[in-house]
Structure 1
Amino acid sequence: MDAFVLTLKRFIARRGKPKVIYCDNGRNFVAAAKEVNSFLKSNSDSIIDSASREGIEFRFSPAYAPHFGGLWEAGVKSAKFHLNRVLKNIHLTFEELTSLFAQIEAILNSRPLCPLSPSPQDLSPLTPGHFIIGRPLTSLPSPYLLNYSTNRLDRFKRLEQARQHFWKRWSTEYVTELQQRTKWKVRCRELKIDDLVLIKDDRAPQLYWRLGRVSKLIPGTDGVPRVADVSTSQGTIRRAINRLCLLPSPDDYMDKRS
């Protein structure tokens, strides 16, 4: 319990005091499953009392029901999946691990969510970074180290190589999820002129998402568009449709809710 309260204090010191916190009933909040009820109903030095004094509302999902927090649980699972593979054989000091986690946090919070505005000239997406610092997150440039053998690098470069490995694995997975199509069951929304799209770029630097607006659709002999011209900040480029990922729009979210 004390460890969690200290974690909450660090979170408030960095991000400000939240109004509502959603969490599960996992063992990271209690010592054992049988102690959950008594732990939450305790009248002294409990998480609930500590939160109530700060004006914070805790909302616990039911026990053994991780699907109630599907959105954030999926994000945690994806990050842990790639972290386990990137850091499996690397021994890091506390300072190195903290630095790597902070950079991975920036990677996760840099992902594009939806267009920032409906203007065809605006190429900026809304990202989690906008809710944290009011603008997209960035990183310092660094040399490409994925082609180097790990035993040829010093500790600092090994740390940077681990970050690049995580970026490549996680960003590829995120782009794949954006481009996911359910064949033969649900007809996917087709690209339209002025749609904001994410352009797949295998050599993109960390925290850089190449975006553009569809300016022209080029159909094949069957009338189905398979190539598109995309306007970017560096000019117009032509790409196959399978290299473009449509970002969800506010209208798409409203359609899912209705």
Structure 2
Amino acid sequence: MCDNALNFVGAKRELDELVQLFNSEQFQQSVARGAQHDRIDFRFIPPRSPNFGGLWEAAVKSFKGHFKRTIGNRVLQHDEMQTVVAQIEAILNSRPLTSISHDTSDFEALTPGHFLIQRPLTAVPEPSMEDVPENRLTIWQRSQDVVQRI
């Protein structure tokens, strides 16, 4: 239930039009033709068998492990959650895959970040929050503390 404000009335009208579009046979055929033209073919791994997923499931497992170990039973605000997830993602995409050159004095490595943004993912290090009691931290400092624990 909502009031009769114009934005709600407009939203209902837009949703009704969207339902009609999805239910129209012409739209469904158009989507099917597009998928056939682009050669979109879904293939699924067996249910409850992430070991069939290979590398992407290993990345998910790594993310979940880092996330669960650092967050624990904490309740995060939405902004904290987004920050922590983005920073864990950056950490995982900064792991070295191989060296870029054969020069032993060159320590730069090829990372997944190179494939995403054509350069390594870098960030300015934040000061350690280790000695500050948790109840004295700001939201930003708390999210940085969580990321530093990784």
CA offset at residue 84 of structure 1? 1.6
Matches of residues 188-203 of structure 1 in structure 2 within 5 Å?
A: none
Contact 1:51 1:58 in 2 (8 A): no
Query: What CA distance in whole angstroms lies between the structure 2 residues aligned with 1:61 and 1:121?
Result: 43
Contact 1:113 1:126 in 2 (8 A): yes
Which is richer in strand? 1
Query: What's the TM-score once normalised by structure 1's chain length?
Result: 0.41
Contact 1:109 1:137 in 2 (8 A): yes
Query: What CA distance in whole angstroms lies between the structure 2 residues aligned with 1:102 and 1:160?
Result: 11
Quick check: 1:102 aligned with 2:86? yes
Amino acid of the structure 2 residue aligned with 1:87: I
Contact 1:51 1:57 in 2 (8 A): no
Query: What CA distance in whole angstroms lies between the structure 2 residues aligned with 1:51 and 1:61?
Result: 24
| CA shift in 2, pair 1:84/1:64, >3 Å | closer
Query: What CA distance in whole angstroms lies between the structure 2 residues aligned with 1:144 and 1:120?
Result: 31
Matches of residues 129-168 of structure 1 in structure 2 within 5 Å?
A: 129-166=113-150
- In the other structure, the counterpart of 1:52 is 35
Amino acid of the structure 2 residue aligned with 1:52: A
Equivalent in 88, 104, 117 of residue 72 of structure 2 = 88
Contact 2:66 2:88 in 1 (8 A): no
Please give the per-residue CA displacement for 1:65-110, whole angstroms capped at 9, x wherever unaligned.
3211132222211221221232223222222211221111111100
Query: What CA distance in whole angstroms lies between the structure 2 residues aligned with 1:74 and 1:63?
Result: 16
Query: What CA distance in whole angstroms lies between the structure 2 residues aligned with 1:54 and 1:105?
Result: 34
CA offset at residue 51 of structure 1? 8.2
- Which is greater in Rg? 2
Which is richer in helix? 2
Query: What's the TM-score once normalised by structure 2's chain length?
Result: 0.67
- In the other structure, the counterpart of 1:36 is none
Greater length-normalized contact order (CA 8 Å, ≥ 6 residues apart)? 2
Contact 2:87 2:147 in 1 (8 A): yes
Contact 2:98 2:110 in 1 (8 A): yes
- In the other structure, the counterpart of 2:111 is 127
Query: What CA distance in whole angstroms lies between the structure 2 residues aligned with 1:119 and 1:158?
Result: 40
CA offset at residue 63 of structure 1? 3.0
Query: What CA distance in whole angstroms lies between the structure 2 residues aligned with 1:98 and 1:50?
Result: 37
CA offset at residue 147 of structure 1? 3.3
Q: How high is the sequence identity, in percent, across the aligned residues?
A: 45
Contact 2:98 2:109 in 1 (8 A): yes
Q: What stretches of structure 2 of length at least 5 have no aligned partner? A: 1-27
Q: What stretches of structure 1 of length at least 5 have no aligned partner? A: 1-43, 167-258
